[in-house]
Amino acid sequence: MITQRRFLPSISSLLALEAVSRLGSASAAAKDLSLTQSAVSHQLKQLEAQMGVDLIARDQLKLSLTPAGLEFVKEARFLLERLSQASIKLRANPSGGSLNLSILPAFGLNWLAPRLKDFARLNPEVTVNLQTHSLPFGFEDNPAQAAIHYGKKDWPDVNYMPLFPKQVLPVCAPSVLEHSVKDARQLLTLPLLHLETHPDSWERWFHHLGHSVSGLEGMLFDQSSTMTQAAVHGLGVALVPDFLAEDEIERGRLVLAFDGPLVSLGGYFLVWPTSQDRHVPLIRFRNWLNTQTPEHSS
């Protein structure tokens, strides 16, 4: 329920305020909005009268916003953008619902995307809109209704659906290995590639194999997919998720740098705010995703 409706400004007045804030004059705002200058001025005065607050500081050269106006337009711009996105989604899928899903780039490209055709076939009335994110990420100022999370259950105020553990493989280009590696510690003589979001992955990997190492250095990458390509081009050894590494190994562009036991450094989860619990497209996506995890698809 929307309370205090008398304080709700019109869309046209918010658009006028946002345009003046962005462009600095009523004439420029009028051109941007395909209105007359007097119409823009009228919208601004009407908004100020409704709010009972001076939003515009007027001088002969240009219009600028008062401190109160600057604070107000930040919220207005955010809400206008959300409304615009909702309108686009409605036009794209007028007969059903949509799900805004934020994904990790490597996971989305290599694991989720090849499977989404099946979801679309089973749920033709639901549109899944994908956006990518890096860590850290939050739902507060983001249109995403759910996200793929990697790591542990350390994200506050969300619900978790476990997908599968992230099992990593140490891989490199064939040219990087001059001879076979029998002991994992031999990898310490090779350049090691690291992820910015999980810079301790190599230390944790060695720990799982019973070796205590620290202070490992090397090139940093912001995404697993970028790091994988660096490994393909011979820049070093990378710890890559098995679903990402196996295709490159099959193509002969990467090889196992050390053929040891699989090591899991965390898990993949679908997460969503509790406010989205009853969102029907999300429920359908969760039910479908549950059939795609290894224990159900094997």
Q: Which residues contact 77 (CB under 8 A, 6 or more apart)?
A: 18, 21
Residue 136 in this model has a pLDDT that exceeds 80: no
CATH number at 5-92? 1.10.10.10
Return the minimum-mean-pLDDT range out of 92-106, 227-241, 258-272.
92-106
What φ, ψ does residue 271 adopt, rounded to 5°? -125, 150
- Predicted local distance difference test score (pLDDT) of residue 151: 82
Q: How confident is the model at residue 294 (pLDDT cuts 50, 70, 90)?
A: low
For the CA atoms of 157, 159, 163, 164, what is the dihedral angle to 10 degrees?
A: 50
Instruction: In the chain, list all ranges with CATH 1.10.10.10.
Output: 5-92
Instruction: In the chain, list all ranges with CATH 3.40.190.10.
Output: 98-164+267-297, 166-264
pTM above 0.75, yes or no: no
Please tell me the distance from the alpha carbon of residue 189 to that of residue 176, in angstroms, as a whole number.
Answer: 11
Q: How confident is the model at residue 87 (pLDDT cuts 50, 70, 90)?
A: confident
Residue 257 in this model has a pLDDT that exceeds 90: yes
Please tell me the distance from the alpha carbon of residue 171 to that of residue 238, in angstroms, as a whole number.
Answer: 5
- Predicted local distance difference test score (pLDDT) of residue 118: 95
Residue among 275, 90, 242 nearest 164 (CA): 242
Please tell me the distance from the alpha carbon of residue 57 to that of residue 51, in angstroms, as a whole number.
Answer: 15
**What CATH architecture is 98-164+267-297?**
3-Layer(aba) Sandwich (3.40)
